[in-house]
């Protein structure tokens, strides 16, 4: 652990404060990693060495896994529709904590911070009722950053500079799953599904437990999986569990598409190949009013379900136990 806050360089600060959408990765009990996209709305405090994002109780599996294993990484991988002009690829890794019951002041500050990124908040009696859970039941994931890696361009090629903990050695190979390492979903259909999603990233658990998130290019596919072009020196040789994220988004995230995969990564001298095992897709409508209504209704349903099935209480118990684990 780093005792003093990691104060990242100016190039990283502009990116952390300005990117509209970032990739977040967390680890799984089987030793893999899952990557998804979030809009952190500039959450970050360089003096305190913290970054983070918000989510909701409607995604309990993500929260449970972060609470059980707080190793989290954030990849600032695209300047699209954001405010940072830098071309740097930034990877921040650290230990996460979860604030399930943020103060009214913190929630109010989040609303103010989000408007430059996501647009003006809808207000009025009907909108206030519809969006009450969406705005007032947010969950904060705060990351005490332990390492920030910066590459000069968004492909993560070129010389890497490190602030904080030294970059670890490559992890060893993992034991193959009992059900085999080959694809478990239709690779050709998957290739069509991600064809229009320009941002592609791969995540695996590093030797020190932190996920490593790497931008990749899909160069082709066959029955064995997706063929990948990757930055040199960032993928460990051999086989391991890994997550894959493909996504696209529009200004203010009014309209986004995302596909998250879990699977098996194999890296040899001949290249990298990814065999997908699971595939989940998400799409939001490209119309602001329809998106706002959908967000409000989904937040209401998610909170109702979390209370009904005990998710909220279970997450709270994990939050209490987390410091001792």
Q: Output the pLDDT for position 320.
A: 65
Number of domains observed in the structure of the chain: 1
Number of other residues whose CB lies within 10 A of the CB of residue 109: 13
CA angle, 73 then 75 then 80, to 5°? 155
| Domain of residue 245, residue span | 10-324
Q: Output the pLDDT for position 325.
A: 43
User: Among residues of the chain, what percentage have pLDDT more than 90?
Assistant: 85
Number of other residues whose CB lies within 10 A of the CB of residue 47: 7
- Tell me the residue length of the chain: 325
Residue 297 lies in a domain: yes
Residue 195 lies in a domain: yes
CA angle, 52 then 61 then 243, to 5°? 75
The band of 7, judged by pLDDT with boundaries at 50, 70 and 90, is very high
Helix (H), strand (E) at residue 26: strand 22-27
Residue 1 lies in a domain: no
Distance from the Cα of residue 108 to its chain's centroid: 24
* Tokens read off for 231: 């930055």
What average pLDDT score do residues 67-76 get? 97
Residue 4 lies in a domain: no
- Give the integer Cα–Cα distance in Å for 58 and 60: 6
The band of 316, judged by pLDDT with boundaries at 50, 70 and 90, is confident
Q: Tell me: the pLDDT tens digits for 86-137?
A: 999 999 999 999 999 999 999 999 999 999 999 999 999 999 999 999 998 8
DSSP states of 162-194 as a string?
EEESPPPPPPPP-PPPTT-SS-SS-HHHHHHHT
Number of other residues whose CB lies within 10 A of the CB of residue 237: 13
How distant, in Å, are the alpha carbons of 77, 234, 289 from that of 151? Answer: 10, 12, 38
Q: Output the pLDDT for position 199.
A: 98
Residue 3 lies in a domain: no
Residue 2 lies in a domain: no
On average, the pLDDT of the chain sits at: 94
Sort strands 71-76 and 22-27 into parallel, antiparallel or unpaired: antiparallel
Residue 291 lies in a domain: yes
Number of other residues whose CB lies within 10 A of the CB of residue 196: 9
More confident position, 160 or 61: 160
Check whether 1 has a pLDDT greater than 60.
no
The band of 324, judged by pLDDT with boundaries at 50, 70 and 90, is very low
Number of other residues whose CB lies within 10 A of the CB of residue 22: 24
What average pLDDT score do residues 177-203 get? 97
Residue 5 lies in a domain: no
Check whether 185 has a pLDDT greater than 70.
yes
- Give the integer Cα–Cα distance in Å for 113 and 121: 11
What CATH number is associated with residue 131?
2.30.110.10
Check whether 323 has a pLDDT greater than 50.
no
- Give the integer Cα–Cα distance in Å for 232 and 244: 18
């Amino acid at each position: 652990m780093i005792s003093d806050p990691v104060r990242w360089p100016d190039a990283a600060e502009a990116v952390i404060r300005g990117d509209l959408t970032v990739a977040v990765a967390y680890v799984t009990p089987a030793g893999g990693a899952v990557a998804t996209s979030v809009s952190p709305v500039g959450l970050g405090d360089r003096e305190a060495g913290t970054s983070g994002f918000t989510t909701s109780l409607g995604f309990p599996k993500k929260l449970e896994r972060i609470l059980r294993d707080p190793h989290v990484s954030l990849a600032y991988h695209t300047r699209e529709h954001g405010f940072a002009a830098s071309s740097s690829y930034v990877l921040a890794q650290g230990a996460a904590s979860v604030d399930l019951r943020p103060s009214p002041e913190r929630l109010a500050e989040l609303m103010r911070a989000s408007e430059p990124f996501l647009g003006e908040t809808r207000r009025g009696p009907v909108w206030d009722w519809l969006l009450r859970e969406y705005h007032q039941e947010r969950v904060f994931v705060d990351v005490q950053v332990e390492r920030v890696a910066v590459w000069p361009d968004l492909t993560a090629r070129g010389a890497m500079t490190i602030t904080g903990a030294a970059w670890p050695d490559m992890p060893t190979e993992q034991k193959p799953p009992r059900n085999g390492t080959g694809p478990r979903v239709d690779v050709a259909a998957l290739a069509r599904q991600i064809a229009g999603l320009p941002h592609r990233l791969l995540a695996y658990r590093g030797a020190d437990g932190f996920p490593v998130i790497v931008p990749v290019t899909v160069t082709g596919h066959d029955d064995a999986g997706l063929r990948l072009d990757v930055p040199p020196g960032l993928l460990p040789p051999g086989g391991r569990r890994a997550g894959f994220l493909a996504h696209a988004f529009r200004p203010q995230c009014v309209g986004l598409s995302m596909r998250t995969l879990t699977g098996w990564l194999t890296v040899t001298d001949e290249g990298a190949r990814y065999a997908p095992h699971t595939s989940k897709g998400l799409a939001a409508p490209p119309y602001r009013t329809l998106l706002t209504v959908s967000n409000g209704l989904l937040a209401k349903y998610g909170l109702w379900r979390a209370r009904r099935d005990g998710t909220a209480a279970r997450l709270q118990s994990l939050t209490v136990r987390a410091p001792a684990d």
